[in-house]
């Protein structure tokens, strides 16, 4: 645990962070900075010495938990050997990591292009799809986030995209495979996957020989933890095969054990043509992302130029951290723990749904769950409007949880539960008890007349 700073030094640090640091996606005057001094496992410690359970793995990236000694050692050792090398030369951690990722990803996903993060991975993924197919268009979905660079934000579906528009041409958005709020008025298990028929209709409206790729998060992350119905991903694979469209899986958030499999696509035995990753690849200790492609795409670039490159792509420190992280996932059985603790988590959340009038739906897979807040369970009216102007009571619930020592991520009416994959049952239950109490705020808001 961290040494607490003196009260005056802590207050100064908070004021400086307000004054000098831009906070992402925020109206700056509303930011109340919490300055974290250190962390360990699933625990964070602020500069006052207060402890918080991390139910967000920060940005759903610190999958191995904070300050894992083996990852830190790997970074230190690599820094002493070779701190940087251009992507035109190579180095063992980069090569070994590419081979390791080819081994743990499904099917013939073979060749890795490294980037510094997820947005760049997605930018490169669509460039690869366009170069390989010779087609211009990309289909993504509204409930999606693919990153904050101009192209990646154009690919994204939620309201963050509006700030970048008109954005990148050639992107078309589809409706989602969101059973709790089905856009096609169908009931789960009784439907004919109208969400897939809609995608096929879209392909025909855009021109089957114009569409290079369909990019999806196999389990939607920041847009509400949406697990597709069982036939959706296999159906999407078949649809892409039918029209020669590249299936691009954005596994930036879902990859590396988050859903209880190494990669979320494996929950449905689907092999995408192109897969992007970042975050969990090295648990966020050093920035890293990448794209892995299937053999035919790799073969194509044997005699075609690949247009793309980044100074920090496949940084040796990041690759060394990734190799250590993947070994930690294996040795400490974190993917299995994600699956097992995920079942406990979903069971506990189901019980919470029964207790709280404001909890309309709980869902998820592995340690990747969401709690959807509603005004009314029958009508499913959202407690805070998705894409609306304020975060409303959703933010108040998270603030209350924070005061009680639980750090959570959420957006509008959805709260996310995605702790590090090393969490144990006691820690999970401690965090859930805090959430349970904080949800009373949402119940009170739901009960208020509109
Ligand atoms: N793709 C998904 C699914 C994400 O959740 C994110 C970030 O949250 C990104 C891409 C962008 O990754 P990065 O922030 O590393 O650019």
Give the chain's domains with CATH numbers: 7-67+333-447 (3.90.1150.10), 69-331 (3.40.640.10)
CA dihedral 391, 392, 393, 398 (to 10 degrees): 40
CA-nearest residue for atom 7, ligand 1, is 147
- 289 Cα nearest atom in ligand 1: 15
The pLDDT of residue 72 is 98
226 three-state secondary structure: strand
- The end-to-end CA distance of the chain, in Å, is 45
Q: Which two tokens stand for residue 349?
A: 């959340």
The pLDDT of residue 3 is 62
Beta bridge partners of 220: 226
**Region at 269 (left for phi over 0; alpha for psi -120 to 50; beta for the rest):** left
Ligand 1 pocket mutation pick from 25, 120, 141, 145 by most atoms within 8 angstroms of CB: 145
Tokens 């050093």 label which residue?
286
Is 287 a pocket residue for ligand 1 (Cβ < 6 Å)? no
Is 250 a pocket residue for ligand 1 (Cβ < 6 Å)? yes
The pLDDT of residue 5 is 79
The pLDDT of residue 7 is 87
Tell me how far apart the alpha carbons of residues 138 and 55 are, in angstroms, rounded to a whole number: 33
Is 147 a pocket residue for ligand 1 (Cβ < 6 Å)? yes
Q: Which two tokens stand for residue 420?
A: 């590090």
| CA torsion through residues 203, 205, 206, 209, sign | positive
Distance between alpha carbon 145 and the CA centroid of its chain, in Å? 8
| CA torsion through residues 59, 361, 162, 392, sign | negative
- Comparing C-alpha atoms, which of 245, 8, 249 is closest to residue 107? 249
Is 179 a pocket residue for ligand 1 (Cβ < 6 Å)? no
Is 217 a pocket residue for ligand 1 (Cβ < 6 Å)? yes
The pLDDT of residue 307 is 94
The pLDDT of residue 259 is 98
Tell me how far apart the alpha carbons of residues 233 and 228 are, in angstroms, rounded to a whole number: 7
Centre of ligand 1 to C-alpha 281, Å, is 12
20 three-state secondary structure: helix
The pLDDT of residue 104 is 98
Distance between alpha carbon 433 and the CA centroid of its chain, in Å? 25
Spatial contact of 106 and 275, defined as CB atoms under 8 Å apart: no
Centre of ligand 1 to C-alpha 409, Å, is 14
Is 251 a pocket residue for ligand 1 (Cβ < 6 Å)? no
Residues in the chain, overall count: 450
The pLDDT of residue 2 is 54
Is 212 a pocket residue for ligand 1 (Cβ < 6 Å)? no
CA-nearest residue for atom 5, ligand 1, is 253
The pLDDT of residue 1 is 53
The pLDDT of residue 189 is 86
Q: Write the DSSP symbol of residue 2.
A: P
Segment (H or E) for 174: strand 171-174
Q: Which two tokens stand for residue 282?
A: 């090295």
- 147 Cα nearest atom in ligand 1: 11
- What are the average pLDDT values for consecutive 10-residue runs of the chain, which has 450 residues? 76 91 91 94 97 98 98 98 96 98 98 98 98 98 98 97 95 98 95 98 98 98 98 98 99 98 98 99 98 98 96 97 98 98 98 98 98 98 96 96 98 98 98 98 94
Centre of ligand 1 to C-alpha 328, Å, is 23
Query: What is the chain's alpha carbon radius of gyration, rounded to the nearest angstrom?
Result: 22
Tell me how far apart the alpha carbons of residues 304 and 321 are, in angstroms, rounded to a whole number: 32
Ligand 1 pocket mutation pick from 25, 59, 60, 118 by most atoms within 8 angstroms of CB: 118
- 287 Cα nearest atom in ligand 1: 15
pTM, 2 dp: 0.97
């Amino acid at each position: 645990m961290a040494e607490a700073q003196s009260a005056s030094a802590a207050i100064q640090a908070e004021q400086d962070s307000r004054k000098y640091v831009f906070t992402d996606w925020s109206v700056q005057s509303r930011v109340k900075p919490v300055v974290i001094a250190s962390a360990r496992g699933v625990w964070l410690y602020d500069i006052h010495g207060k402890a918080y359970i991390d139910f967000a793995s920060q940005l759903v990236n610190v999958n191995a938990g904070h300050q894992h000694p083996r990852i830190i050692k790997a970074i230190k050792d690599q820094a002493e050997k070779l701190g940087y090398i251009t992507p035109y030369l190579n180095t063992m951690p980069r090569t070994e990591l590419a081979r390791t990722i080819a081994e743990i990803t499904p099917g013939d996903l073979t060749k890795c292009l490294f980037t510094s993060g997820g947005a760049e991975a997605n930018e490169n993924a669509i460039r690869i799809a366009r170069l390989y197919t010779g087609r211009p268009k990309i289909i993504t979905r509204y409930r999606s986030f693919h990153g904050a660079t101009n192209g990646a934000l154009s690919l994204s579906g939620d309201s963050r995209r509006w700030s970048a528009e008109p954005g990148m041409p050639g992107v078309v958005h589809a409706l989602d495979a969101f059973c709790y709020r089905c856009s096609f008025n169908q009931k789960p298990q009784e439907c004919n996957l109208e969400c897939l028929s809609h995608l096929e209709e879209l392909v025909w409206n855009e021109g089957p020989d114009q569409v290079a790729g369909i990019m999806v998060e196999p389990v939607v992350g920041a847009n509400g933890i949406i697990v597709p119905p069982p036939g959706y991903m296999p159906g999407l694979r078949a649809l892409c095969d039918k029209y020669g469209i590249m299936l691009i899986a954005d596994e930036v958030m879902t990859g590396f054990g988050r859903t209880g499999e190494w990669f979320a696509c494996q929950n449905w035995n689907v092999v995408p043509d192109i897969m992007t990753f970042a975050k969990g690849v090295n648990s966020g200790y050093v920035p890293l992302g990448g794209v892995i492609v299937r053999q035919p795409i790799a073969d194509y670039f044997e005699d075609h130029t690949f247009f793309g490159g980044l100074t920090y792509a496949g940084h040796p420190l990041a690759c060394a951290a990734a190799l250590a992280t993947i070994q930690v996932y294996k040795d400490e059985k974190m993917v299995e723990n994600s699956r097992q603790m995920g079942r406990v988590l979903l069971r506990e959340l189901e019980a919470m749904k029964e207790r709280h009038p404001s909890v309309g739906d709980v869902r998820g897979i592995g340690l990747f769950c969401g709690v959807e807040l509603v005004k009314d369970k029958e009508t499913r009216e959202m407690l805070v409007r998705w894409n609306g102007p304020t975060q409303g009571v959703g933010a108040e619930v998270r603030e209350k949880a924070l005061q009680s020592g639980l750090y959570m991520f959420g957006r509008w009416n959805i709260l996310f539960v995605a702790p590090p994959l090393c969490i144990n049952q006691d820690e999970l239950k401690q965090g859930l008890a805090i959430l349970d109490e904080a949800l009373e705020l949402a119940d009170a808001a739901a009960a208020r007349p509109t």
